[in-house]
Structure 1
Amino acid sequence: MELRTLRYFVAVAEELHFGRAAVRLHMSQPPLSRAIRRLEDDLGAQLLLRSAAGVALTPAGGVLLAEARDLLERAARIRGRVASAAGPAVLTVGLLGDSSDPAVTRLAAEYRGRHPGVEVRIRETDLTDPTCGLRAGRVDVALTRGPFGADGLTVRELRADPVGAVLRADDPLAGRAGLTLADLAGRPWFQFPPGTDPAWQAYWNGGEPREGPVVRAVQECLQAVLWSGTVGIAPLGHDPAAGLALVPVADMPPSRVVVAWREGEESVPVREFVRIARTVYGG
C-alpha cells in the first residue's frame, strides 16, 4: 500500500462519492476508481459498496479508514521530526513571471514573520511553465495560476480574478465598457511555444484555437499588443502599460490563483506555506 493510494481511499470514504473525491483530489475519476480497485485487490477485501447514488463503506472499509487516517497522520509527524533533525529548513518557492500581485508581498511578510528560521529561495519562471518548475523538481511549492494538468500534483485555489482583453489604446474596441469573445474573433492572439501545457494555452486563447506571435513572458505579450495589435489577456487588477487598455471580457472564466506542490511531498515548510497562503488570499 502506498500513502498516495491511502489518501485516495480516505477522500472517497469521506466524500462517499467518487466524483466529489476526484474533484477534491484534483484528478479525473477513472484513475481514482482504478486505484481503489487495485487497493481492494491488494487487500483481498471489498472496501466500498458502489451504487448509482454514490458509495458506502463496508465493515472492512471502515476499519481501513480509521487505520489510514492514523497512518497518514503518523507519516506527517515523521516528516516533521526528520525535517527538524535535519537542521535549518530550506523552501524553494516558484513564482510565475507575474508577481506584481500585492498579496505576494503580504504572504512573504507573513511567512517570514512566522518562520524566520526557514530559508526561502525564490525561482521566477516565464509563462511557458505554469507549474514554475514543480514537475522538474526545481521548486518545492508553486504560487501560480491555473489551469494546467494536475496529474501527480496537489492544487489548491486561492483566488479567482476576472480578466480582460489587453488592446492598444487606439484600438476601436479599447473604449468599450466590456467585450465578449465574439468581439475578438479573427484577431491574432499570443501563443506559447510547442510543448506548453495545452490546458494553459487553451485558457489564454479563450478556449479556441488561435494564431498569433509566440511569446514567453508578460512583457513579450504586451509588446506583441503594442507592435502587432495582438490580443492579450490579463487579470483586471493589473494596470495596463502606457499605450494599452484593459477591457473586461464578460464570457471568459476567471484566472485562478493557485498554490501547488507535488503529491505526497508536503513537508512542514510546504504545509505552512500553503496554510499561510490560504489565509492571506482568503482561499
Structure 2
Amino acid sequence: MELRTLRYFVAVAEELHFGRAAARLHMSQPPLSRAIKQLEADVGAVLLVRSATGVTLTAAGAALLDEARALLDQAERARVRVAGAATLTVGILGDSADPGATRLADAYREKHPDVEVRVRDTDLTDPTCGLRAGAVDVALTRGPFDATGLTVHELRADPVGAVLRADDPLAGRANLALADLAGRRWFRFPDGTDPAWQAYWHGGEPREGPVVRAVQECLQAVLWNGTVGLMPLGHRPPDGLAVVPVTDLAPSPVVVAWKRETPLVRSFAALATAAYQTTGGRRTS
C-alpha cells in the first residue's frame, strides 16, 4: 500500500463521498475511484459500500481507517524530523559583521551546502540567544552568563572599553579604570536580565541610567544623554562617540554555546573554533 493511496482512502472515508473527496484532493473522481478499487484488491476486502446517497465504511474499512491515519501521522512526523535535521537555527548576539562570524558562515556553507541556516538576531537581554527556551540550536554570543545546563566553548576574548561622547572630558584619556567612571550614569539592562551578564557589563556595581535592550540603544543613550557604558574595543563607535580601554576589567569572551548536541551543532562548534582564531586577545581582521 502506498502512502498516496492511503491518503486517498482517508479522504473518501472522512468525506463519505467520492466527489467531495476528489475536490479535497484536487483531482478528478475517476482516478480516485480506480485507486480505491485497487486498494480493496490489494487488501482483499471491501472497504467502502457505494450507494446513490454516498459512501459507508465496512468493518474492514473502519479498521483500515484507524491504521491509515496512524501511518500517515507517522510519515508526517518522519518528514518533519528529516527536514529539521537539515536545518540549523543560530542565535547571534552583537556584531554579526565580526570577521570571525563571516569566516564561520563561509566555512559552514562550504561544508554543509544543503543545510538551511536560520539566524535569530537577539537583543542584549538574553545572552544565551534563546537556547534555554529552545528557540535556537546553537548560539554565537558573549559571556559571562549563567551556563547551567549549557555547553559553552570560548572562541576569543576581547578587551573592553568605556564608550563616551567624543567631547567627554575622559574621552581623550589613553585608558581608564572603573573607578574613573564612578558616579556617572550608565546605560543598563532591564531587571531580570542574567545576573552574571549584568554584573559584568555594569562594571560590577548597580547602576542608574536609561534601560537599553539593543546595541544601537546603548550608543544612542551615550550620544543623547551623555551616559557611559562598556563595549568591546574591536567595535568601532559611530561619529560623535569614543571608546577608551578599561584596564581593570577582564576581557569579554566570545563563545559558542549549545544545549543539545547534534551532528550539525558539533560541526558548527568545530568550525567556529577554527574561524575565531585570536591574535593577542584581539579580533583578527
In which range does the TM-score fall when normalised by the shorter chain?
0.5 to 0.7
The 3-state SS of whatever aligns with 1:237 is coil
Deviation at 1:210, TM superposition (A): 1.4
**CA separation in 1, counterparts of 2:206 and 2:125?**
17
One-letter amino acid of the counterpart of residue 261, structure 2? E
Q: Deviations over 1:101-135 (max 9, x none)?
A: 11111100010011101111000000001000111
Aligned-residue CA RMSD (Å): 1.6
- In structure 1, the partner of 2:268 is 273
State the structure with more CA Rg. 2
Q: What is the TM-score when the length of structure 1 is the normalising length?
A: 0.68
Aligned length: 199
**CA separation in 1, counterparts of 2:275 and 2:265?**
15
Identity %: 73
One-letter amino acid of the counterpart of residue 119, structure 2? I
One-letter amino acid of the counterpart of residue 265, structure 2? V
- In structure 1, the partner of 2:237 is 240
- In structure 2, the partner of 1:282 is 277
Q: Deviations over 1:159-195 (max 9, x none)?
A: 0000100000000000011100011100011111111
- In structure 2, the partner of 1:67 is none
Q: Choose from 83, 86, 94 the match for 2:82.
A: 86
Structure 1, unmatched stretches of 5+, are 1-81
The 3-state SS of whatever aligns with 1:156 is strand
One-letter amino acid of the counterpart of residue 97, structure 2? S
Is 1:194 aligned to 2:191, yes or no? yes
Q: Deviations over 1:13-36 (max 9, x none)?
A: xxxxxxxxxxxxxxxxxxxxxxxx
Deviation at 1:98, TM superposition (A): 2.7
Q: Choose from 120, 143, 146 the match for 1:149.
A: 146
The 3-state SS of whatever aligns with 2:109 is helix
Deviation at 1:100, TM superposition (A): 2.4
Structure 2, unmatched stretches of 5+, are 1-77, 279-285
Is 1:216 aligned to 2:213, yes or no? yes
**CA separation in 2, counterparts of 1:150 and 1:253?**
18
Is 1:258 aligned to 2:255, yes or no? yes
- In structure 2, the partner of 1:102 is 99
One-letter amino acid of the counterpart of residue 119, structure 1? E
Deviation at 1:243, TM superposition (A): 0.2
Deviation at 1:97, TM superposition (A): 3.6
**CA separation in 1, counterparts of 2:270 and 2:94?**
23
Deviation at 1:282, TM superposition (A): 2.7
- In structure 2, the partner of 1:65 is none
- In structure 1, the partner of 2:123 is 126
- In structure 2, the partner of 1:160 is 157
